[in-house]
Chains A and B, each alone.
Chain A
Amino acid sequence: MSKFFSNKKLIILLITIVAMIGLIAISINVKDRRDTPPLVQQIGNDAAGVASSIISAPINSLHTGLTAMVNLVNTYQDNEQLKQQLDTLDQVKETNATLKRENQSLKKQLHLNATLTDYKQIDAAVITRSPATWQNQVVINKGQVNGVVKNMPVMAGSGLLGRVVEVNKTNSKVELISTSNKATNSFAIEVRLSNGKYLDGIVSGYDANKKQLIISQLDNTDGVKAGDEVTTSGLGGLTPRGLFVGKVSAIRKDDYGLTNSVYVKPAADINDFTVVTVIDRTVEGE
């Protein structure tokens, strides 16, 4: 058997490894910049997005059909449950509309144009998901032309799903909240206690075994109970206040017994979503 690595090949291999690590490091470093990816890369990604949509069209229609059939089976049960909720919903809707009106007129009196709770929604469909296990990213079919900007939060169903990390002309990449990427931006959240007070913290990670988000850097965890609601606090970045994240499921000490971490069951189903909503905060960020 001839030698796989001759001296010349070994040198080429070493140079290639150095080039690979260098290129990855550069890519990671420039990723958060506002002007990346460059136009050429955007065009490539847009073309790949279009090709992916064409190939996935038959698979998607089959998938939608199957999901519709499964939903049909569950319809009766869902209907019974929804009927019960419907009675109370009308009243809540009415109160909500009245409060909104009142809120708007009060804001007008105070000459406030928009606050941290105001946002617009951009609906998008998921085109594809990164097969690379460590990335936890999906590609959605809305981009720069639809007003999507890097770092906007993304919701699925009733809860927070992730954040836009790259914007091309016609599609964007969304990093899911379940990412293990330590360099990613954390979401600032607040826990609403039963006594009406709020505690500020950040989403510091995702416990894959428990399928729960880990909240840390809370001032103290006194008074936090399972079932308390967790929402975004609107501090930092482009996230508005009041996006629902999930409900507290447990409070645990960290490995050294020094600080308490709050575990939150996310409201969004991180592994079952086809349509997402990109949130565009009315108040400008940094």
Chain B
Amino acid sequence: MTVLAKQRLKWFVPTFWVVAFLLDGIISYTFQGFLFQYPVMISTQLFLMAIVRTVYRFPAARWLLWVALIIGLFYDSFYSGIIGYYTFLMPAVVIFVRWITNYLPDSPLFQGTVYLLVLFGVEFCLFLLNSFFGNTGDFSIFITYDLGPTIAVNTLLFAALYYPLTLLLNKVSD
């Protein structure tokens, strides 16, 4: 990567992640009739997808960890008002993806697998933390009505956005 591309990355990544995090809420609100059809509750995770895609593409950029921490903090503060969930989980995702890129090649299939793994992990951690603080239903409800549909919808979003995002990330690093 050239020096210019590195500088470009420094403003591109925060903007890209902030837009993705705001789009999560906007999509949830615009399609609430479909996404929150009780008991089914689907959470869109574009912010998480943006993090996985960016870190997978630029694993050497160590500062991504701090960007994830700060935007995670904003995410918690803006959406739930309870700070701690995304503030800590998103930097953990950055560390995990950076570690796993050492062993897996950069291909759509592997990126998809890592994204699904991370999505599963994050959703599961969120459920555990929420149930610890008395904010959730049963585990069986979580598996059937939350985790399953959430993974299905987010996999579709990942597949649909794979090539547009690849083009965008390539353009930035040129």
- Could you tell me which A residues sit within 8 Å of B by CB distance? 1, 4, 16, 19-21, 23-25, 27-28, 31, 37, 41, 44-45, 48-49, 51-52, 55-56, 59-60, 63, 126-139, 165-166, 173, 178, 180-183, 206, 208-209, 211, 270-272
Query: Is B41 part of the binding interface, using a Cβ–Cβ cutoff of 8 Å?
Result: yes
CB atoms of B81 and A165 under 8 A apart? yes
Query: Given the complex, which residues of B lie within 8 Å of A1, measured CB to CB?
Result: 103
Query: Given the complex, which residues of B lie within 8 Å of A272, measured CB to CB?
Result: 32-33
The CA of A85 and the CA of B56, in the complex, are separated in Å by 61
Query: Given the complex, which residues of A lie within 8 Å of B111, measured CB to CB?
Result: none
Q: How far in angstroms is the closest Cβ of chain B from A155?
A: 17
The CA of A138 and the CA of B82, in the complex, are separated in Å by 14
The CA of A199 and the CA of B40, in the complex, are separated in Å by 33
CB atoms of B126 and A134 under 8 A apart? yes
CB atoms of A211 and B38 under 8 A apart? yes
Query: Given the complex, which residues of B lie within 8 Å of A138, measured CB to CB?
Result: 29
Query: Given the complex, which residues of B lie within 8 Å of A128, measured CB to CB?
Result: 22, 25-26, 28-29, 79
- Could you tell me which B residues sit within 8 Å of A by CB distance? 18-19, 22-30, 32-33, 36-39, 41-45, 74, 76-85, 87-88, 92, 99, 103, 126-127, 129-130, 132-137, 141, 145-146, 150
CB atoms of B33 and A271 under 8 A apart? yes
Q: How far in angstroms is the closest Cβ of chain B from A221?
A: 25
Query: Given the complex, which residues of B lie within 8 Å of A211, measured CB to CB?
Result: 38
CB atoms of B39 and A131 under 8 A apart? no
CB atoms of A180 and B43 under 8 A apart? no
CB atoms of A24 and B129 under 8 A apart? yes
Q: Which residue of A lies closest to B92 (CB)?
A: A16
Q: How far in angstroms is the closest Cβ of chain A from B61?
A: 20
* Known interface pairs A23-B84, A51-B18; A131-B32 also in contact (CB < 8 Å): no
CB atoms of A129 and B85 under 8 A apart? no
Q: Which residue of A lies closest to B79 (CB)?
A: A130
A-B contact pairs, 5 of them (CB 8 A): A23-B83, A180-B135, A208-B38, A208-B39, A208-B141
Q: Contacting B88 at CB < 8 Å: which of A19, A63, A208?
A: A19
Query: Given the complex, which residues of B lie within 8 Å of A55, measured CB to CB?
Result: 19, 22-23, 26
Q: Which residue of A lies closest to B78 (CB)?
A: A48
Query: Given the complex, which residues of B lie within 8 Å of A166, measured CB to CB?
Result: 81
Q: How far in angstroms is the closest Cβ of chain B from A78?
A: 19
Q: Which 7 A-B pairs have the closest CB atoms?
A: A128-B25, A24-B84, A208-B39, A129-B29, A133-B41, A23-B84, A130-B79
- Most chain B beta carbons < 10 A, residue from A23, A131, A271: A131
Query: Given the complex, which residues of A lie within 8 Å of B99, measured CB to CB?
Result: 4
CB atoms of A178 and B83 under 8 A apart? no
Q: Which residue of A lies closest to B103 (CB)?
A: A1
CB atoms of B84 and A129 under 8 A apart? no
Query: Given the complex, which residues of B lie within 8 Å of A45, measured CB to CB?
Result: 77-78
Query: Given the complex, which residues of B lie within 8 Å of A181, measured CB to CB?
Result: 134-135
Q: Which residue of A lies closest to B37 (CB)?
A: A271
Query: Given the complex, which residues of A lie within 8 Å of B24, measured CB to CB?
Result: 131
Q: Which residue of A lies closest to B100 (CB)?
A: A4
The CA of A165 and the CA of B19, in the complex, are separated in Å by 25
Q: Contacting B85 at CB < 8 Å: which of A48, A132, A137, A165?
A: A132
The CA of A21 and the CA of B141, in the complex, are separated in Å by 24
The CA of A41 and the CA of B79, in the complex, are separated in Å by 12
Q: Which residue of B lies closest to A41 (CB)?
A: B77
* Known interface pairs A52-B22, A59-B30, A131-B25; A24-B85 also in contact (CB < 8 Å): yes
Query: Given the complex, which residues of A lie within 8 Å of B103, measured CB to CB?
Result: 1
Query: Given the complex, which residues of A lie within 8 Å of B126, measured CB to CB?
Result: 132, 134
CB atoms of B30 and A63 under 8 A apart? yes
Q: Contacting B25 at CB < 8 Å: which of A19, A60, A139?
A: A139
Q: How far in angstroms is the closest Cβ of chain B from A59?
A: 6
* Known contacts A19-B88, A133-B42, A208-B145; 8 further A-B pairs (Cβ under 8 A): A1-B103, A24-B82, A131-B44, A133-B41, A180-B136, A180-B137, A208-B137, A209-B38
* Known interface pairs A52-B26, A134-B130; A37-B77 also in contact (CB < 8 Å): yes
Q: Which residue of B lies closest to A4 (CB)?
A: B99
Q: How far in angstroms is the closest Cβ of chain A from B41?
A: 4
